[in-house]
Amino acid sequence: MTASPQPSSLDPEIAARLKRSADGLVPAIAQQYDTGEVLMLGWMDDEALHRTLTTGRCTYWSRSRQEYWVKGDTSGHFQHVKSVALDCDADTVLVRVDQVGAACHTGTRTCFDTDVLAVADAPAPGQ
Protein backbone atom coordinates (compact mmCIF):
# COMPACT_ATOMS: atom_id res chain seq x y z
CA MET A 1 0.00 0.00 0.00
CA THR A 2 1.55 3.27 -1.01
CA ALA A 3 -1.08 5.61 0.36
CA SER A 4 -4.69 5.55 1.46
CA PRO A 5 -7.14 6.79 -1.16
CA GLN A 6 -8.20 9.60 1.18
CA PRO A 7 -6.85 11.40 4.23
CA SER A 8 -7.77 9.82 7.52
CA SER A 9 -10.09 11.29 10.10
CA LEU A 10 -8.68 9.07 12.85
CA ASP A 11 -8.33 10.84 16.18
CA PRO A 12 -4.75 12.24 16.17
CA GLU A 13 -4.13 10.91 19.70
CA ILE A 14 -4.93 7.36 18.56
CA ALA A 15 -2.97 7.80 15.33
CA ALA A 16 0.10 8.95 17.28
CA ARG A 17 0.06 5.77 19.36
CA LEU A 18 -0.15 3.28 16.47
CA LYS A 19 2.94 1.39 15.38
CA ARG A 20 2.37 0.54 11.74
CA SER A 21 4.17 -1.77 9.35
CA ALA A 22 6.28 -0.28 6.56
CA ASP A 23 3.17 -0.17 4.36
CA GLY A 24 1.19 1.79 6.97
CA LEU A 25 -0.96 -1.07 8.23
CA VAL A 26 -1.70 -2.73 11.55
CA PRO A 27 -3.03 -6.28 11.90
CA ALA A 28 -6.59 -6.41 13.21
CA ILE A 29 -7.76 -9.57 14.94
CA ALA A 30 -11.52 -10.12 14.92
CA GLN A 31 -12.77 -12.06 17.95
CA GLN A 32 -16.32 -13.13 18.84
CA TYR A 33 -17.19 -10.89 21.78
CA ASP A 34 -19.12 -13.39 23.91
CA THR A 35 -17.17 -16.64 23.36
CA GLY A 36 -13.62 -15.41 22.75
CA GLU A 37 -13.43 -17.38 19.49
CA VAL A 38 -10.77 -15.93 17.19
CA LEU A 39 -12.45 -15.40 13.82
CA MET A 40 -10.00 -13.81 11.39
CA LEU A 41 -7.12 -11.44 10.82
CA GLY A 42 -7.45 -8.42 8.58
CA TRP A 43 -5.41 -5.27 8.00
CA MET A 44 -6.28 -1.69 8.84
CA ASP A 45 -4.75 1.64 8.06
CA ASP A 46 -5.72 4.79 9.95
CA GLU A 47 -8.83 5.40 7.85
CA ALA A 48 -10.06 1.81 8.16
CA LEU A 49 -9.67 2.04 11.93
CA HIS A 50 -11.50 5.38 11.96
CA ARG A 51 -14.38 3.89 9.96
CA THR A 52 -14.52 0.85 12.26
CA LEU A 53 -14.64 3.07 15.35
CA THR A 54 -17.28 5.42 13.97
CA THR A 55 -19.62 3.12 12.02
CA GLY A 56 -19.75 0.10 14.32
CA ARG A 57 -18.89 -2.20 11.40
CA CYS A 58 -15.44 -3.61 10.67
CA THR A 59 -13.66 -1.94 7.78
CA TYR A 60 -10.42 -3.41 6.50
CA TRP A 61 -7.81 -2.51 3.89
CA SER A 62 -7.47 -5.15 1.17
CA ARG A 63 -3.79 -5.54 0.36
CA SER A 64 -4.58 -7.47 -2.84
CA ARG A 65 -7.30 -5.15 -4.18
CA GLN A 66 -5.83 -1.94 -2.71
CA GLU A 67 -9.21 -0.78 -1.44
CA TYR A 68 -11.33 -0.63 1.68
CA TRP A 69 -13.88 -3.35 2.35
CA VAL A 70 -16.58 -3.52 4.98
CA LYS A 71 -17.09 -7.03 6.30
CA GLY A 72 -20.49 -8.22 5.14
CA ASP A 73 -21.19 -5.73 2.36
CA THR A 74 -20.89 -8.42 -0.32
CA SER A 75 -21.23 -11.64 1.72
CA GLY A 76 -23.92 -10.65 4.20
CA HIS A 77 -21.64 -11.97 6.97
CA PHE A 78 -21.45 -8.82 9.08
CA GLN A 79 -19.19 -7.96 11.99
CA HIS A 80 -20.93 -5.67 14.46
CA VAL A 81 -18.29 -4.00 16.64
CA LYS A 82 -18.62 -4.42 20.40
CA SER A 83 -15.19 -3.06 21.41
CA VAL A 84 -11.82 -2.10 19.94
CA ALA A 85 -8.52 -2.31 21.82
CA LEU A 86 -4.82 -1.87 21.13
CA ASP A 87 -2.33 -4.41 22.39
CA CYS A 88 0.41 -3.36 24.83
CA ASP A 89 2.80 -2.39 21.99
CA ALA A 90 0.10 -0.53 19.99
CA ASP A 91 0.98 -2.59 16.92
CA THR A 92 -2.11 -4.82 16.78
CA VAL A 93 -5.81 -4.07 17.07
CA LEU A 94 -8.29 -6.45 18.71
CA VAL A 95 -11.84 -5.95 17.49
CA ARG A 96 -14.43 -7.80 19.53
CA VAL A 97 -17.44 -8.34 17.30
CA ASP A 98 -20.79 -10.02 17.03
CA GLN A 99 -20.20 -12.10 13.91
CA VAL A 100 -23.21 -12.82 11.70
CA GLY A 101 -22.53 -15.85 9.52
CA ALA A 102 -19.10 -16.98 8.40
CA ALA A 103 -16.03 -14.86 9.12
CA CYS A 104 -13.76 -16.62 6.64
CA HIS A 105 -13.93 -16.00 2.90
CA THR A 106 -14.06 -19.80 2.44
CA GLY A 107 -17.45 -19.87 4.15
CA THR A 108 -16.34 -21.28 7.50
CA ARG A 109 -17.08 -19.67 10.85
CA THR A 110 -13.41 -18.91 11.53
CA CYS A 111 -10.27 -18.75 9.42
CA PHE A 112 -8.46 -20.89 12.00
CA ASP A 113 -10.42 -24.14 12.00
CA THR A 114 -9.21 -26.10 8.98
CA ASP A 115 -5.42 -26.38 9.35
CA VAL A 116 -4.63 -27.13 13.00
CA LEU A 117 -0.88 -27.66 13.31
CA ALA A 118 -0.71 -28.81 16.94
CA VAL A 119 -2.96 -29.58 19.87
CA ALA A 120 -1.59 -29.81 23.39
CA ASP A 121 -2.97 -32.47 25.67
CA ALA A 122 -5.07 -31.08 28.46
CA PRO A 123 -3.37 -31.32 31.84
CA ALA A 124 -4.66 -33.93 34.24
CA PRO A 125 -6.89 -32.62 37.02
CA GLY A 126 -4.87 -31.11 39.85
CA GLN A 127 -1.80 -30.45 37.70
pLDDT tens readout for residues 63-85: 999 999 999 998 999 999 999 99
Classify residue 3 as exposed, middle or buried by CB count within 10 Å of its CB (0-12, 13-18, 19+): exposed
For residue 8, what are the contacts with CB-CB under 8 A and spacing of at least 6? 15, 45, 46, 47, 50
pLDDT tens readout for residues 53-66: 999 999 999 999 99
Calpha distance 76→86 (Å, rounded):
27
Specify the higher pLDDT residue, 76 or 3. 76
For the cut 90, the answer to whether the pLDDT of residue 116 exceeds it is: no
Q: In what order do the strands lie in the sheet with 93-99?
A: 38-44, 26-32, 93-99, 79-86
Calpha distance 108→111 (Å, rounded):
7
The total of other beta-carbon atoms located within 10 Å of residue 90's CB is 14
What is the model's pTM?
A: 0.85
